[in-house]
Amino acid sequence: MTTESTGASGRTAIAEPVVDTEDGPFRGTDDGVVKVWKGIPYAAAPVGELRWRAPEPPQPWRDVADARRVGPVCPQPTDPRIPLDLGGVQGEDSLRLNVWTPSGAGDRKPVMVWVHGGAYVIGSANQPLYHGKALASGGDVVVVTVNYRLGAFGFLDLSAFTTPRIRFDTNPGLRDVLAALQWVHNNIAAFGGDPARVTLFGESAGGGIVTTLMTSPLAQGLFSAAIAQSSPATSVYSAERGRRTAEQFLDRVGVSPADAHRLVAAPLPAVIAASKRLFDEVPVRTPGTLAFAPIVDGDLVPDLPIKVARAGGSLPVPLIIGTNKHEAALFRWMKSPLMPITPQAISSMFAEIAAEQPGLQIPSEADLVDAYSGLRGKARGMGVARDIGFRMPSVWFAEGHSAVAPVYLYRFDFATPMLRLLRLGAAHATELPYVWGNLVAGSKDPTFKLGGLKAGTAVSQRMRGRWTRFAASGEPGGAPPWHPYRADDRATLVIDGEDTVVDDLDGELRRAWGDEILSFR
């Protein structure tokens, strides 16, 4: 059903389509290119006793709800080094999603469900970068962007403190994404989407959620393909580590373990402040680790995702997976401790790995010298950090998953003259504007100030074409042909001003790092 509003001049303005869902009807907008519905609740507000619980369905309604404006985003700390435009106000009633679908006729379109990144603590589905108009209209797909709980709200494992008085569930943030996928399965046909063709895609922490859910039996049947961009696939921790972090959080917020039930009423500023302290402290104290990340709970997350994939236990869906050439450059530029770049931090990380898993074969210094020949000082540290944080986990996951379903491995190398001048290059997250087709983020965006927009536009068209064709058919296509990753050639697409396909691009790194270190978490 569609209605239209009329301006003072009497001319028809923007259309306002109404769509019925299982929970109730929503009014959106239609500008003639895409129809958009924003701020749709896919779960009840996680407040009070639901604060650290698995999401519950929203209460149904009968009147038409307004979905013309975005909803709240998960409360989170702010960081002046990362001036994110969250695209909405912060609030705990944040389990909302946004939908874009082409205005033209036709239904049963491929669906792409986006999980944003942000180290599991920051970010939003409402960010202008993730506006889905270009992706939806250019690829004839339905685009869904999902808000989920972050930081302590989504990735603090308080389950050890469950009592008859209060229950805490494991991995609330992951369970949010599962609930959103279930909502898509139940409702997306009403928006013109095909519930049998759902591609789950995400970047950074969002990519980590993708690779984690690919090894979860609870995600079976909820998506038919996946794309993991810069996934920190090994940043999934044991229940023991999760409990230690939870105890530290309780200490920071001033609540004893015996009184953990008080957290459901803890003031929001206190929760955010404690989250920020832990987020800052943990990677300094234990380099290479995050304060908040998915936890192996034996249920939603049965084991470390890389171990499950290497054992052939991942969900048998086609996968695009890859990283950027200069992932660590962003963290150096921000002076962030999230990645161990200095020799001291790297040594500390390897010492921790050895302490946690005695007998584990860790690459020798000679092995790494050979693999990173030509790199000196911080450049070598950035290479090691990039590869243990992002590249090797993605390669390890590809190696395992290729035994159960087609895998398409890529590396994103494209960088504008300005990003090269800033010594960022193809840094972490720099592929995002090209995937979304939102290349210039306002007049102050320096990315293309020294040129490169024409080449960048071509890169974006090729990437969006491959991503949306993959969502439609499970094959990315394009030129040059991008073949699945197999043991005989390990084909890898290098995305640059001109795309190329290289056999075994990571061969030297694979041999240097080996396979055993993949399970150190």
Instruction: Please check the confidence at residue 199 and state whether its pLDDT lies above 50.
Output: yes
Please give the Cα distance from 137 to 141 (Å, whole number).
7
Helix (H, G, I), strand (E, B) or coil at 3: strand
**Residues present in the chain in total:** 521
As a whole number, mean pLDDT of residues 126-140 equals 97
Please give the Cα distance from 63 to 83 (Å, whole number).
38
- Give the E-state strand segments of 77-120 in sequence order: 96-102, 109-115
Residue in the block written with tokens 């290497």: 310
The pLDDT value given to residue 356: 57
As a whole number, mean pLDDT of residues 251-275 equals 94
Q: Are 427 and 333 in contact (CB under 8 A)?
A: yes
**What average pLDDT does the structure give for the chain?**
91
Instruction: Please check the confidence at residue 294 and state whether its pLDDT lies above 90.
Output: yes
Instruction: Please check the confidence at residue 80 and state whether its pLDDT lies above 80.
Output: no
More confident residue, 355 or 339: 339
- Give the E-state strand segments of 73-132 in sequence order: 96-102, 109-115
The pLDDT value given to residue 520: 44
User: Taking the CA of residue 212 as centre, how many other CA atoms within 13 Å lie in the half-sphere pointing to its CB?
Assistant: 33
Window from 13-17, 22-26, 84-88, 139-143 with minimum mean pLDDT: 13-17
Please give the Cα distance from 231 to 397 (Å, whole number).
10
Please give the Cα distance from 382 to 353 (Å, whole number).
19
Nearest partner of 96 among 59, 136, 64, 124, judged by Cα: 124
Q: Which residue numbers are catalytic?
A: 204, 327, 428
What pLDDT band is residue 364 in, cutting at 50, 70 and 90? low
- Going from the C-alpha of 127 to that of each of 39, 85, 117, 198, 265, the distances in angstroms are 13, 6, 11, 22, 29
The pLDDT value given to residue 6: 40
Instruction: Please check the confidence at residue 116 and state whether its pLDDT lies above 50.
Output: yes
Please give the Cα distance from 423 to 366 (Å, whole number).
28
Window from 333-337, 353-357, 505-509 with minimum mean pLDDT: 353-357
Helix (H, G, I), strand (E, B) or coil at 72: coil
Q: Are 448 and 420 in contact (CB under 8 A)?
A: no
The pLDDT value given to residue 8: 44
% of the chain with per-residue pLDDT over 70 = 92
Q: Sort 490 into a burial class: Cβ within 10 Å, 0-12 / 13-18 / 19+.
A: buried
Helix (H, G, I), strand (E, B) or coil at 210: helix
The pLDDT value given to residue 376: 66
Please give the Cα distance from 513 to 172 (Å, whole number).
33
CA-based angle 98:101:107, to the nearest 5? Answer: 130
pLDDT digits (tens, 9 = 90+) for 21-60: 999 999 999 999 999 999 999 999 999 999 999 999 999 9
The helix-helix angle for 239-253 and 268-285 (nearest 10°) equals 130
The pLDDT value given to residue 379: 79
As a whole number, mean pLDDT of residues 207-212 equals 98
Write down the pTM of the prediction: 0.94
As a whole number, mean pLDDT of residues 378-400 equals 89
Q: Are 395 and 322 in contact (CB under 8 A)?
A: no
Helix (H, G, I), strand (E, B) or coil at 101: strand
Superfamily covering domain 18-77+87-513: Alpha/Beta hydrolase fold, catalytic domain (3.40.50.1820)
* CB environment 205-232: b (16+ within 10 A), e (fewer): bbbbbbbbbbbbeebeebbbbbbbbbbb
pLDDT digits (tens, 9 = 90+) for 213-261: 999 999 999 999 999 999 999 999 999 999 999 999 999 999 999 999 9
Instruction: Please check the confidence at residue 9 and state whether its pLDDT lies above 90.
Output: no
Within 8 A by CB and 6+ apart from 150, the residues are 74, 75, 76, 118, 120, 121, 122, 123, 173, 292
